[in-house]
Amino acid sequence: MRRREGGFTFLELLMVLSVVVIMTSIVLPFGDRWIRTTSEKDAMQALIASIQNLQAYSMANHVVTKLEFQHSGSEYITSVIGKPEFSRTRFPDGMRLASSSRLKSVEFHANGDIIHSGTLTLLTSTGQTEIRLQFQRGRMIIYE
């Protein structure tokens, strides 16, 4: 009686691994682009939330607040004027404030009105995004 043993040959395993390597090399660039785009969108939403929270903090505590860009626009700091910073946030690689941006910081009066209205221009891997800050307690308009 012969005992029958099952299994794969070396050639079969090599073929399967080859197919896996080829599929991985095709999928990786798409995954990398998707991750970069998603992280930039998340960073944009975090910036908008920081601006809105800063304005709300100004109104609630009757203090002047500021969001200021640092390190060539690759990060921003939120603070109350004359006090230590609240937070320091870094943008993902490839995302930064454009050097052509009219606004380099966002400041709010103690009543929540914006001190200098204008446009923040951000550079991302997918292009330019503009955030227009209107007078007083106006809303932000985002152009992509």
> For residue 72, is pLDDT > 90?
no
Residue-range definition of the domain harbouring residue 135 = 12-143
Q: Is residue 41 part of a domain?
A: yes
- 104: its two tokens: 């380099």
| Pairing state between β 96-97 and 85-90 | unpaired
Contact 112, 56 (CB under 8 A): yes
CATH number at residue 21: 3.55.40.10
Give the total number of structural domains in the chain.
1
Q: Is residue 2 part of a domain?
A: no
Q: Is residue 3 part of a domain?
A: no
> For residue 141, is pLDDT > 80?
no
Q: Is residue 94 part of a domain?
A: yes
Q: Is residue 4 part of a domain?
A: no
Q: Is residue 106 part of a domain?
A: yes
> For residue 140, is pLDDT > 70?
no
> For residue 144, is pLDDT > 70?
no
pTM (two decimals): 0.77
Residue 46 CA to residue 12 CA, distance in Å, equals 49
Map tokens 């930039």 to a residue.
Answer: 40
Q: Which of 118, 115, 140, 120 is nearest to 130 (CA)?
A: 120
Residue 21: per-residue pLDDT? 93
Q: Is residue 139 part of a domain?
A: yes
Annotate 15-41 with DSSP letters as a single string: HHHHHHHHHHHHHHHHHHHHHHHHHHH
Look at residue 125 and give its three-state secondary structure.
coil
Q: Is residue 112 part of a domain?
A: yes
Map tokens 């395993």 to a residue.
Answer: 13
| Mean pLDDT score across all residues of the chain | 87
Map tokens 């939120």 to a residue.
Answer: 78
Q: Tell me the β-bridge partners of 69.
A: 76
The predicted-structure confidence for 47-60, as pLDDT tens digits, reads as follows 999 998 999 999 99
The predicted-structure confidence for 94-139, as pLDDT tens digits, reads as follows 899 998 888 889 999 999 888 888 888 999 988 888 888 876 666 6
